[in-house]
DNA sequence: AACAAGTATAGAGTATAGTCTATACCAGGA
DNA sequence: TCCTGGTATAGACTATACTCTATACTTGTT
Protein backbone atom coordinates (compact mmCIF):
# COMPACT_ATOMS: atom_id res chain seq x y z
CA UNK A 1 0.00 0.00 0.00
CA UNK A 2 1.05 3.62 -0.43
CA UNK A 3 1.58 6.03 2.43
CA UNK A 4 -1.91 7.46 2.04
CA UNK A 5 -3.53 4.11 2.78
CA UNK A 6 -1.21 3.43 5.70
CA UNK A 7 -2.16 6.81 7.08
CA UNK A 8 -5.87 6.18 6.67
CA UNK A 9 -5.76 2.69 8.11
CA UNK A 10 -3.75 3.69 11.17
CA UNK A 11 -5.11 7.16 11.75
CA UNK A 12 -1.59 8.55 11.81
CA UNK A 13 -0.92 11.52 9.54
CA UNK A 14 1.30 11.14 6.47
CA UNK A 15 3.68 13.73 7.92
CA UNK A 16 4.03 11.79 11.14
CA UNK A 17 4.47 8.48 9.31
CA UNK A 18 7.29 10.03 7.28
CA UNK A 19 8.77 11.33 10.49
CA UNK A 20 8.59 7.82 11.94
CA UNK A 21 10.22 6.45 8.81
CA UNK A 22 13.07 8.96 9.02
CA UNK A 23 13.38 8.11 12.68
CA UNK A 24 13.80 4.46 11.80
CA UNK A 25 10.58 3.18 13.30
CA UNK A 26 9.06 1.95 10.06
CA UNK A 27 10.34 1.42 6.52
CA UNK A 28 8.69 1.29 3.14
CA UNK A 29 10.42 -0.14 0.08
CA UNK A 30 10.65 1.31 -3.40
CA UNK A 31 9.55 -1.19 -6.01
CA UNK A 32 12.59 -1.89 -8.17
CA UNK A 33 10.38 -2.96 -11.07
CA UNK A 34 8.77 0.46 -11.31
CA UNK A 35 11.10 2.91 -13.02
CA UNK A 36 8.79 5.88 -13.49
CA UNK A 37 8.54 6.84 -9.85
CA UNK A 38 10.02 6.15 -6.45
CA UNK A 39 6.79 5.74 -4.54
CA UNK A 40 7.26 3.63 -1.48
CA UNK A 41 5.30 0.50 -0.71
CA UNK A 42 4.27 -0.19 2.84
CA UNK A 43 3.24 -3.75 3.54
CA UNK A 44 0.51 -5.10 5.81
CA UNK A 45 2.87 -5.80 8.69
CA UNK A 46 3.37 -2.08 9.10
CA UNK A 47 -0.20 -1.66 10.29
CA UNK A 48 0.70 -3.73 13.33
CA UNK A 49 3.94 -1.87 13.82
CA UNK A 50 2.27 1.52 13.74
CA UNK A 51 -0.38 0.28 16.16
CA UNK A 52 2.40 -0.90 18.43
CA UNK A 53 3.94 2.58 18.28
CA UNK A 54 0.62 4.18 19.22
CA UNK A 55 0.12 1.84 22.17
CA UNK A 56 3.67 2.23 23.41
CA UNK A 57 3.39 6.00 23.21
CA UNK A 58 0.21 5.85 25.25
CA UNK A 59 2.15 3.84 27.81
CA UNK A 60 4.55 6.75 28.01
CA UNK A 61 7.50 5.32 26.12
CA UNK A 62 9.62 7.66 24.04
CA UNK A 63 10.18 7.07 20.34
CA UNK A 64 13.74 6.15 21.09
CA UNK A 65 12.67 3.45 23.52
CA UNK A 66 10.09 2.23 21.04
CA UNK A 67 12.68 2.07 18.29
CA UNK A 68 14.91 0.02 20.51
CA UNK A 69 12.26 -2.54 21.39
CA UNK A 70 11.02 -2.76 17.80
CA UNK A 71 14.58 -3.37 16.75
CA UNK A 72 14.89 -6.14 19.29
CA UNK A 73 11.55 -7.54 18.31
CA UNK A 74 11.59 -7.51 14.52
CA UNK A 75 15.14 -7.21 13.26
CA UNK A 76 17.16 -9.42 15.47
CA UNK A 77 16.68 -13.12 15.71
CA UNK A 78 15.56 -13.55 19.26
CA UNK A 79 14.66 -16.73 21.02
CA UNK A 80 11.07 -17.12 22.14
CA UNK A 81 12.10 -16.91 25.78
CA UNK A 82 14.05 -13.74 25.10
CA UNK A 83 11.02 -12.17 23.42
CA UNK A 84 8.83 -13.09 26.35
CA UNK A 85 11.42 -11.60 28.64
CA UNK A 86 11.37 -8.29 26.75
CA UNK A 87 7.59 -8.05 26.86
CA UNK A 88 7.48 -9.00 30.51
CA UNK A 89 9.92 -6.21 31.27
CA UNK A 90 7.68 -3.76 29.43
CA UNK A 91 4.69 -5.02 31.38
CA UNK A 92 6.58 -4.39 34.58
CA UNK A 93 7.34 -0.85 33.46
CA UNK A 94 3.67 -0.31 32.76
CA UNK A 95 2.74 -1.73 36.14
CA UNK A 96 5.12 0.71 37.75
CA UNK A 97 3.51 3.58 35.85
CA UNK A 98 0.10 2.39 37.02
CA UNK A 99 1.38 2.30 40.60
CA UNK A 100 2.65 5.85 40.21
CA UNK A 101 -0.72 7.02 38.96
CA UNK A 102 -2.45 5.30 41.84
CA UNK A 103 -0.19 7.21 44.20
CA UNK A 104 -1.19 10.49 42.59
CA UNK A 105 -4.78 9.39 42.88
CA UNK A 106 -4.29 8.81 46.59
CA UNK A 107 -2.65 12.24 46.91
CA UNK A 108 -5.78 13.75 45.37
CA UNK A 109 -8.30 11.84 47.47
CA UNK A 110 -6.38 13.04 50.51
CA UNK A 111 -6.65 16.59 49.20
CA UNK A 112 -10.41 16.11 49.14
CA UNK A 113 -10.39 14.92 52.73
CA UNK A 114 -8.44 17.99 53.77
CA UNK A 115 -10.88 20.27 52.07
CA UNK A 116 -13.76 18.49 53.76
CA UNK A 117 -12.11 18.91 57.14
CA UNK A 118 -11.72 22.65 56.54
CA UNK A 119 -15.45 22.71 56.14
CA UNK A 120 -16.09 21.56 59.73
CA UNK B 1 13.74 30.29 52.65
CA UNK B 2 15.94 31.04 49.67
CA UNK B 3 15.78 29.24 46.35
CA UNK B 4 18.62 26.96 47.31
CA UNK B 5 16.70 25.53 50.25
CA UNK B 6 13.52 25.18 48.22
CA UNK B 7 15.52 23.28 45.63
CA UNK B 8 17.07 20.97 48.21
CA UNK B 9 13.83 20.30 50.03
CA UNK B 10 11.86 19.52 46.89
CA UNK B 11 14.56 17.89 44.82
CA UNK B 12 13.82 20.25 41.94
CA UNK B 13 16.79 22.09 40.47
CA UNK B 14 17.15 25.84 40.97
CA UNK B 15 17.00 26.32 37.20
CA UNK B 16 13.73 24.47 36.98
CA UNK B 17 12.27 26.30 39.97
CA UNK B 18 13.12 29.60 38.29
CA UNK B 19 11.53 28.29 35.14
CA UNK B 20 8.40 27.40 37.12
CA UNK B 21 8.41 30.87 38.65
CA UNK B 22 8.68 32.55 35.25
CA UNK B 23 5.91 30.26 34.07
CA UNK B 24 3.69 31.46 36.89
CA UNK B 25 3.53 28.22 38.83
CA UNK B 26 5.20 29.51 41.97
CA UNK B 27 6.20 32.95 43.28
CA UNK B 28 8.77 34.14 45.78
CA UNK B 29 8.66 37.61 47.26
CA UNK B 30 11.49 40.10 47.68
CA UNK B 31 11.73 41.35 51.26
CA UNK B 32 10.97 45.07 51.15
CA UNK B 33 12.92 45.62 54.38
CA UNK B 34 16.15 44.38 52.86
CA UNK B 35 17.66 47.04 50.64
CA UNK B 36 21.05 45.55 49.91
CA UNK B 37 19.80 42.74 47.70
CA UNK B 38 16.75 41.45 45.92
CA UNK B 39 16.95 37.86 47.04
CA UNK B 40 13.60 36.19 46.94
CA UNK B 41 11.96 34.49 49.88
CA UNK B 42 10.00 31.34 49.28
CA UNK B 43 7.69 30.37 52.10
CA UNK B 44 6.79 26.96 53.47
CA UNK B 45 3.60 26.66 51.48
CA UNK B 46 5.67 26.45 48.31
CA UNK B 47 7.01 23.06 49.33
CA UNK B 48 3.48 21.72 49.01
CA UNK B 49 2.93 23.53 45.74
CA UNK B 50 6.09 22.15 44.19
CA UNK B 51 5.19 18.67 45.38
CA UNK B 52 1.81 19.11 43.78
CA UNK B 53 3.53 20.06 40.51
CA UNK B 54 5.69 16.94 40.67
CA UNK B 55 2.70 14.69 41.32
CA UNK B 56 0.60 16.27 38.64
CA UNK B 57 3.41 15.93 36.13
CA UNK B 58 3.70 12.26 37.00
CA UNK B 59 0.02 11.97 36.31
CA UNK B 60 0.74 13.29 32.82
CA UNK B 61 -0.59 16.82 33.16
CA UNK B 62 1.15 19.62 31.29
CA UNK B 63 2.51 22.67 33.08
CA UNK B 64 -0.24 24.72 31.52
CA UNK B 65 -2.91 22.44 32.96
CA UNK B 66 -1.15 22.48 36.31
CA UNK B 67 -1.01 26.26 36.28
CA UNK B 68 -4.68 26.40 35.60
CA UNK B 69 -5.65 24.11 38.44
CA UNK B 70 -3.26 25.79 40.87
CA UNK B 71 -4.81 29.06 39.91
CA UNK B 72 -8.25 27.70 40.59
CA UNK B 73 -7.10 26.14 43.79
CA UNK B 74 -5.03 28.84 45.45
CA UNK B 75 -5.84 32.19 43.95
CA UNK B 76 -9.54 32.18 43.44
CA UNK B 77 -12.00 31.92 46.25
CA UNK B 78 -13.67 28.64 45.53
CA UNK B 79 -16.41 26.98 47.47
CA UNK B 80 -15.59 23.69 49.13
CA UNK B 81 -17.89 21.82 46.81
CA UNK B 82 -16.24 23.45 43.80
CA UNK B 83 -12.80 22.40 45.05
CA UNK B 84 -13.99 18.85 45.54
CA UNK B 85 -15.44 18.93 42.07
CA UNK B 86 -12.09 19.99 40.57
CA UNK B 87 -10.18 17.25 42.36
CA UNK B 88 -12.77 14.64 41.47
CA UNK B 89 -12.42 15.60 37.83
CA UNK B 90 -8.66 15.15 38.07
CA UNK B 91 -9.17 11.76 39.70
CA UNK B 92 -11.37 10.76 36.81
CA UNK B 93 -8.68 11.82 34.36
CA UNK B 94 -6.16 9.72 36.24
CA UNK B 95 -8.52 6.77 36.23
CA UNK B 96 -8.82 7.10 32.50
CA UNK B 97 -5.03 7.14 32.15
CA UNK B 98 -4.85 4.02 34.30
CA UNK B 99 -7.44 2.34 32.08
CA UNK B 100 -5.38 3.25 29.03
CA UNK B 101 -2.27 1.74 30.55
CA UNK B 102 -4.17 -1.41 31.43
CA UNK B 103 -5.19 -1.67 27.79
CA UNK B 104 -1.58 -1.45 26.70
CA UNK B 105 -0.76 -4.07 29.28
CA UNK B 106 -3.37 -6.34 27.78
CA UNK B 107 -1.94 -5.69 24.31
CA UNK B 108 1.42 -6.88 25.61
CA UNK B 109 0.17 -9.99 27.38
CA UNK B 110 -1.54 -10.92 24.12
CA UNK B 111 1.76 -10.42 22.33
CA UNK B 112 3.27 -12.97 24.71
CA UNK B 113 0.51 -15.43 23.94
CA UNK B 114 1.17 -15.04 20.23
CA UNK B 115 4.85 -15.69 20.69
CA UNK B 116 4.08 -18.77 22.75
CA UNK B 117 1.78 -20.08 20.02
CA UNK B 118 4.52 -19.66 17.43
CA UNK B 119 6.54 -21.96 19.57
CA UNK B 120 4.19 -24.93 19.08
C1' DA C 1 -2.80 18.47 -23.14
C1' DA C 2 -4.30 20.36 -18.79
C1' DC C 3 -4.97 20.01 -14.13
C1' DA C 4 -5.94 18.31 -9.54
C1' DA C 5 -4.21 15.35 -6.34
C1' DG C 6 -0.67 12.22 -4.67
C1' DT C 7 4.29 11.33 -3.65
C1' DA C 8 9.35 12.23 -2.14
C1' DT C 9 12.87 14.97 -0.03
C1' DA C 10 14.93 18.54 2.44
C1' DG C 11 14.65 21.67 5.58
C1' DA C 12 12.24 25.21 8.39
C1' DG C 13 9.08 26.07 12.14
C1' DT C 14 6.43 24.93 16.52
C1' DA C 15 5.33 23.57 21.36
C1' DT C 16 6.75 21.84 25.66
C1' DA C 17 9.84 21.62 29.30
C1' DG C 18 13.56 22.34 30.57
C1' DT C 19 18.96 23.44 30.86
C1' DC C 20 22.79 26.36 30.44
C1' DT C 21 25.51 30.68 29.95
C1' DA C 22 26.73 35.38 30.68
C1' DT C 23 26.62 39.15 33.45
C1' DA C 24 26.37 41.42 37.59
C1' DC C 25 25.64 41.87 42.23
C1' DC C 26 25.74 40.13 47.20
C1' DA C 27 27.16 37.62 51.59
C1' DG C 28 30.07 35.39 54.82
C1' DG C 29 34.48 33.51 56.21
C1' DA C 30 39.78 33.62 56.24
C1' DT D 1 39.94 43.08 51.94
C1' DC D 2 39.76 39.24 49.07
C1' DC D 3 37.74 35.10 47.60
C1' DT D 4 34.30 31.53 47.16
C1' DG D 5 29.91 30.59 46.49
C1' DG D 6 24.99 32.08 46.31
C1' DT D 7 21.50 34.97 43.88
C1' DA D 8 18.88 37.49 39.91
C1' DT D 9 17.89 38.32 35.14
C1' DA D 10 17.96 37.83 30.35
C1' DG D 11 18.52 35.26 26.78
C1' DA D 12 20.55 31.33 24.17
C1' DC D 13 20.44 26.46 23.59
C1' DT D 14 18.67 21.57 23.79
C1' DA D 15 15.67 17.44 23.21
C1' DT D 16 11.46 15.41 21.86
C1' DA D 17 7.93 14.89 18.74
C1' DC D 18 5.91 16.54 15.63
C1' DT D 19 3.98 19.84 11.72
C1' DC D 20 4.42 22.54 7.82
C1' DT D 21 6.45 24.50 3.53
C1' DA D 22 8.85 24.46 -0.74
C1' DT D 23 10.14 22.11 -4.60
C1' DA D 24 9.77 18.81 -7.97
C1' DC D 25 8.09 14.83 -10.05
C1' DT D 26 4.06 11.40 -11.05
C1' DT D 27 -0.55 9.71 -11.77
C1' DG D 28 -5.19 9.66 -13.10
C1' DT D 29 -9.07 12.13 -15.00
C1' DT D 30 -11.32 15.06 -18.18
Percent of chain B past pLDDT 90, that is, above it, reads 42
Please report residues contacting nucleic strand D, using a CB cutoff of 7 A.
A 13, 15-16, 18-19, 34, 36-37, 39, 57, 62-64; B 2-5, 14, 18, 28, 30, 37-40
CA distance A97 to B39: 38
B52 phi and psi angles, rounded to 5 deg: -60, -45
CA distance B76 to A84: 52
Find the Å distance, CA of residue A14 to C1' of nucleotide C18: 29
Q: Residues of A at the B interface (Cβ-Cβ below 8 Å)?
A: 55-56, 58-60, 80, 83-84, 87-88, 90-91, 94-95, 97-98, 100-105, 107-109, 111-112, 115-116, 118-119
**Is residue A119 predicted with pLDDT exceeding 70?**
no
Mean predicted confidence (pLDDT) in B93-105: 87
pTM of the model: 0.82
Lowest mean pLDDT among A76-80, A108-112, B26-30, B98-102: A76-80
Percent of chain A past pLDDT 90, that is, above it, reads 42
A-interface mutation test, from B45, B99, B108, B109, most A Cβ less than 10 A away? B108
More confident site: A83 or B4 = B4
Identify whether the C-beta of residue A25 lies closer than 8 Å to the C-beta of residue A70. Answer: yes
pLDDT per residue over B82-95, tens digit each?
888 878 888 888 89
Strands B40-41 and A40-41: unpaired
Find the Å distance, CA of residue B14 to C1' of nucleotide D5: 15
Cβ A98–B94 below 8 Å, yes or no? Answer: no
- CA angle, B14 as apex, A114 and A57 as ends, to 5°? 70
**Sign of the dihedral through C-alpha A2, A8, A14, A18:** negative
3-state secondary structure B25-82: CCCCEECCCCCCCCCEECCCHHHHHHHHHHHHHHCCCCHHHHHHHHHHHHHCCCCHHH
Give me the residue from B94, B103, B116 closest to A104, CB to CB: B94
The length of chain B, given as a count of residues: 120
Find the Å distance, CA of residue B39 to C1' of nucleotide D10: 17
Q: What is the pLDDT of residue B120?
A: 63
> Going by C-beta distance under 8 Å and a sequence separation of 6 or more, which residues neighbour residue B73?
B83, B86
Amino acid sequence: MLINELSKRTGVSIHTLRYYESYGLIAGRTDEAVKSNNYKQYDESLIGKVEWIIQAKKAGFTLSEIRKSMDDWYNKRLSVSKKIEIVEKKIEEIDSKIRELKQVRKFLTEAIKEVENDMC
